[in-house]
Amino acid sequence: MKTMLTVLPLFIILSYLFLYLPSSADMSNQYVENGFVVNIAPEYRDIICPVFNNGELETGVAEIDQLIGKYGIYRFEREFPASERYSNTSVDLSGYYIVEFSPLHRLEDVINDFSSCCCIEHVERIGVCPVFAIYPDDPLFSEQWYLDSESYVDIDAPEGWIYEHGDASPIIAIIDTGVDYRHPDLINSIWINDGEVPDNGVDDDKNGYVDDIIGWDFVHGVRGDRYEDCFIEDNDPMDWYGHGTLVAGVASATTDNGVGVSGVGWGARIMVLRAGWGWGPYGFVRMDFCARAIFYAVNMGACVVNCSWSSSNSGGISAAVSYAVSKGVVVVVAVGNTGDEYSHYLASRGDTFCVAGSDMNGRRAIFSSYGSNVDVSAPAFSIMSTYRRYLGEHIYVS
């Protein structure tokens, strides 16, 4: 319980790092056009075994194999690797598979055919949703008004630190656009996977990921800016867009080190999970990337998962969050930035910790969504933190 009480206050601020988006921008949720997620019916889960046989993808289930040939399906793989290893929960994720097919076919046609299969329990599209962004505005502690000021709307962090600095035991999963883990104010706060031997090309801890030393980069097959790493997933979750680095700095920038800013978590460790990327001035996440990141975070020991982005009920995200909650992990989400009572999927579930935004006067931030689902409000303006530019410059913004 002590760990939970230490970590929650920092996420009350952390989760509300919104990048305010112009109303003219079309930032509504979209969906992947050549991919979706299926949940295999329980009686078929021990039968299905996707393999490539002489260059042809086969699953061992005739009904599915016929559709693979019909629609040029080239990917049919587990969404949650090694899920049987973590089966001591009421949420069974072993039946979830990600399917990708030739762009020559219409998504609706492929989904309709899969939905009619007796071996498929249900089908989900894969949402692409915007991240919530910032107002770009130790030595910089005096500029962190939300931590300590003469007003009544700061969180009185120094007073809290008298009782508890925070330590390295809480693991904070930052599911975002990655984190600049080389930033001088973050490098000593990054979680290390002790079960993995660096760069030996072996999945030493048998969690389904090779050489995942500080986390994982789930992003692949998407179109991003020229400097973005968007082609294959790998063990390098570097941030190219900047949003995740800012979130991580608020959570646990190294504090009392004479450098840059102070992190509320003081000594808490940051697990870096990249599920988002940048395109022009905007950042996005994909729901299947986020679902897999949540599953990874829970199994690797995170006690809190931060979600500073919009969401849709797609791509297996519902099952992943239910799994996290069943394991006692707190899932913290920002309510939204539409300025009304609209809530995106994760903010409306009821089992997540939902945060709205306040301004420097302690009132609702003009862009913050609101409603009965909000658990708490937190400062949302001019949040000074770590940042990364595309070319790798380590900076601070607010």
Closest by CA to 23, choosing from 338, 238, 330, is 338
State residue 261's pLDDT score: 58
Helices in the chain by DSSP H: which ranges? 2-14, 62-71, 107-115, 157-163, 243-252, 287-299, 317-326, 345-348
Clarify whether residues 200 and 342 are in a common domain.
yes
- Which residues are bridge partners to 379 per DSSP? 358
Q: pLDDT exceeding 90 applies to what percent of the chain?
A: 53
Number of domains in the chain: 2
Q: Tens digit of pLDDT for each residue in 295-337?
A: 999 999 999 999 999 999 999 999 999 999 999 999 999 887 7
Instruction: Give strand pairing partners of 57.
Output: 52
Q: Which of 92, 127, 162 is the last residue of a domain?
A: 127
Q: Treating both helix axes as pointing N-terminal to C-terminal, what angle do 317-326 and 287-299 enclose, rounded to 10 degrees?
A: 20
Give yes or no for a contact between 91 and 316, defined as CB atoms under 8 angstroms apart: no
Kindly list the strands in the beta sheet with 282-286, ordered across the sheet, starting from the edge strand earlier in the chain: 75-78, 96-100, 30-40, 120-130, 282-286, 276-279
pLDDT score for 101 = 96
Q: Are 220 and 304 members of one domain?
A: yes
Q: What is the mean pLDDT of the chain?
A: 82
For residues 115 and 109, what is the distance between their CA atoms, to the nearest angstrom? 10
Same domain? 119 vs 137: no
What sections of 32-191 are H helices per DSSP?
62-71, 107-115, 157-163
Co-location of 258 and 305 in the same domain: yes
**What pLDDT, on a 0 to 100 scale, did the predictor assign at position 2?**
41
Judgement on whether residues 76 and 149 belong to the same structural domain of the protein: no
Specify whether the CB–CB gap between 123 and 69 falls below 8 A.
Answer: no
With bands split at pLDDT 50, 70 and 90, how would you rate the model's confidence at 28?
Answer: low
Find the range with the poorest average confidence among 21-30, 42-51, 293-302.
Answer: 21-30
Task: Note whether 65 and 186 are same-domain residues.
Answer: no
